[in-house]
Structure 1
């Protein structure tokens, strides 16, 4: 159950993040930027005579609050559970015995240069 809930919250989190990016790019800046193409001062625009600035800033604030809440929700749902290896190869990599090639040759035991080389 929590795995499905985690997936749902993660999907909402990603969509809200993309929405915030889009809204920030559409907002008016001091110069002529991407927001200048939308609602360029027309009083009969879709957003009313005040322009799109008020609507876009409120929507951005709401999406930022939702993004913050989904971030907290994702951190609560993940709760640091240890993940077991899901394949035989991951399990073998964890418990692999040392190979015979790792041991030093018998004649090189007294050689200080052979012992100082990292493996």
Structure 2
């Protein structure tokens, strides 16, 4: 279901970009889009069609965005940030043979204490 909505969303996005780029510029800041004679965008009716298409595609974009966020929220399982960390029973994988062991995980491990450096128990 989520994949279908994502595909529809992407098609709506591409169509919306295309329709917006096809519209005639009102300001003419770069001197483009105005033009004279009989081109593709010369009639008032074409501008109305593109304006309606933009509004429809914008509504479809909004609807698919809301649908995607609702689908993501329904698939989300409640979890705690404390549950996502490694527990004491989990072991980290050892470094591959031939590696120097100077990775980030190796720097975070506690250095092993030598056998003779144990602290005597307080009495």
Instruction: Decide: shared fold, TM above 0.5.
Output: yes
Residue 69 of structure 1, CA deviation: 0.5
Give the conservation status (yes or no) of the 8 Å contact 2:24–2:41. Answer: no
The whole-number CA distance in structure 2 between the counterparts of 1:71 and 1:27 is: 24
More helix, by proportion? 1
Residue 46 of structure 2 corresponds to 52
The whole-number CA distance in structure 1 between the counterparts of 2:40 and 2:75 is: 48
Q: How does 1:11-50 map to 2 (within 5 A)?
A: 11-29=7-25, 30-31=27-28, 32-33=31-32, 36=33, 42=38, 49-50=43-44
- How big is the alpha-carbon RMSD for the aligned residues of Structure 1 and Structure 2? 3.6
Distance 1:103-1:41 versus aligned 2 partners, 3 A rule: same
Question: Relative contact order (C-alpha < 8 Å, sep 6+): which is higher?
Answer: 2
Give the conservation status (yes or no) of the 8 Å contact 1:41–1:51. Answer: no
Count matched residues. 90
Task: Detail structure 1 runs of 4+ shifted over 6 Å in the superposition.
Answer: 45-48
Structure 1, unmatched stretches of 5+, are: 84-92, 110-119
- Give deviations 1:85-106, integer Å, cap 9, x for gaps: xxxxxxxx95653689622354
